[in-house]
Amino acid sequence: MKTKERIVIVGGGFAGLNLIKGLDKRRFEVILVDRNNFHSFPPLFYQIASSGLDPASISFPFRREMRKGKVKGARFHLGEVKRIDVDRKELQTQYETLSYDRLIIAAGTTNNFFGNPELIKYVYTIKSVSEAMRTRDEILDRLERASLTHDAELRRRLLSFVVVGGGPSGVEVAGALGEMKRDIIKREYPSIDIDEVNITLLEGSDKLLGAMSPQSSAKALKYLGELMVDVRLGHVMKEYTDEQVTIDDGTRLTAGMVIWTAGVTGVTFDMGGTGPTLVRGNRFEVDRFNRVKGLDDVFAVGDIAYMATEAFPHGHPQLAQVAIQQARHLADNLNRDRWTEPFVYNDKGSMATVGRNLAVADLKHMHLYGWPAWLAWMFIHLISILGMRNKANVLLNWTWAYWTYNTSLRLLVHTARYPLRSRWGER
């Protein structure tokens, strides 16, 4: 009996999960390795951070999914990749060593602090479920403390928020904070004057949503203004000390809380043997079939893959649609074991929401703004969430929030510490 070829996939995001769905499990032994035991929906992390959704609504366990549908037949291994030896064809986590015939790296990206890793100690991020929950808890804690203090200076620091980065995540977070200021704080924290709440968005370029059209950028700027967000274009954060943000023109802003959405970089690994050279943004350079250049039987897909084409000379945008399309294309090529049709990205457009009834959408043949764009944004995101239960939960929460201007998820939960777990190999 012929032994199945073993394919190990690192990362269970959009790319990894769509790969598993597309691969022929009768031909391949498919193993997914991820540091979390669940898949989540990153475009809605900002709603966790702003108490709009609970984490369970946009997440589901891998093992449950692998019992059904197109994912059935794959296996899941919990672990964070510590080392990849491409010569021995081995992958090491903190728990085990896995051999592979073919390796597919779909690990995605992490926060980019642009050479200043010390920032991670002081700023808040929303690149994962746990980071979004931490950000949510800090926002709620600050509101509670501000409602109690009689110290004007302390209250000012507690209620000063700076969002760094004017891409979709930054715009969505700033908009969500603006909605909290307008709808929640005014009603539920009567001791706080909303004029005391300062929300500032810093963007280094001269426009918001740099990848979108100038019209969408201008609309997003207008919508944030309506939500009482102070947008400062053409300015970057140079320093953050003593709850003060210093920007490039020397201006100092009070910033009790800084939320960092300024950029991403590829997840890195310790590569043993004849490892590849990483390009800009710690991405693996791949050919038009997502094969890592210089390596046999190693592939990269999604945000961590750098594929230069005539249409995209600096690589494809790091978007969910790119990851999904690359994964499906690679799975099809692996199933057929034919490498004749190179990957071509079908750009279906991009969109971002600023707040209730406020969104922008650059679609293939049209631009939408305001309420129509907001409806389109909700529909696209709703159908993209996996699982009918998750879709129903999200729709219910959105419907409730729309009609009541409220959510029931503003729970300030202080998590307990785990006991020592060194016996499991953790450090």
Reported as a single tens digit per residue, the pLDDT across 44-56 is 999 999 999 989 9
Q: What is the mean pLDDT of the chain?
A: 91
Task: Name the DSSP class of 258.
Answer: E
d(CA 91, CA 77): 12
Counting other chains too, the contacts that 209-214 makes at CB distance below 8 Å and 24 or more residues apart are: 209/166, 209/167, 209/168, 209/171, 209/352, 209/360, 210/166, 210/167, 211/167, 211/317, 211/350, 212/350, 212/352, 212/360, 212/362, 213/362, 213/367
d(CA 93, CA 47): 31
pLDDT level of residue 296 (50, 70, 90 thresholds)? confident
DSSP conformation letters of 313-379: TT-----HHHHHHHHHHHHHHHHHT---S-------EEEEEEETTEEEEEESS-EEEHHHHHHHHHH
Domain 117-262 belongs to what topology?
Answer: FAD/NAD(P)-binding domain (3.50.50)
Does the pLDDT value for residue 108 go beyond 60?
Answer: yes
Residue the block writes with tokens 């037949």: 73
pLDDT level of residue 129 (50, 70, 90 thresholds)? very high
User: Quick one: what percent of the chain has pLDDT higher than 90?
Assistant: 75
What is the three-state SS of 261-272? Answer: CCCEEECCCEEE
Q: What is the residue extent of each domain of the chain?
A: 5-111+264-336, 117-262
Q: Which of 381, 414, 323, 417 lies closest to 53, judged by CA? A: 381
- pTM comes to 0.92
d(CA 270, CA 324): 26
Give the mean model confidence (pLDDT) for residues 257-261.
96
Give the per-residue pLDDT at 427. 43
Give the per-residue pLDDT at 235. 93
pLDDT level of residue 84 (50, 70, 90 thresholds)? very high
Does the pLDDT value for residue 424 go beyond 50?
Answer: no
User: Quick one: what percent of the chain has pLDDT higher than 70?
Assistant: 95
- The per-residue pLDDT for range 372-389, each reduced to its tens digit, is 999 999 999 999 998 888
Task: Name the DSSP class of 175.
Answer: H
Same fold, 5-111+264-336 and 117-262: yes
Please check whether residue 143 is in contact with residue 130, taking contact to mean a CB–CB distance below 8 angstroms.
no
d(CA 308, CA 328): 19
The b/e string for 385-418 (b: 16+ C-beta within 10 A; e otherwise) is bbeeebbebbeebbeebeeeeebebbeeeeeeee
d(CA 98, CA 76): 12
- The per-residue pLDDT for range 178-197, each reduced to its tens digit, is 999 998 898 899 999 999 99
Q: At what angle do helices 388-404 and 370-384 cross, to 10 degrees?
A: 150
The CATH number fitting domain 5-111+264-336, selected from 1.10.10.200, 1.10.3720.10, 3.20.20.100, 3.50.50.60: 3.50.50.60
Burial class, 78, CB count within 10 angstroms (exposed 0-12 / middle 13-18 / buried 19+): middle
d(CA 66, CA 423): 28
Please check whether residue 374 is in contact with residue 381, taking contact to mean a CB–CB distance below 8 angstroms.
no
Q: Which of 202, 286, 193 lies closest to 236, judged by CA? A: 202
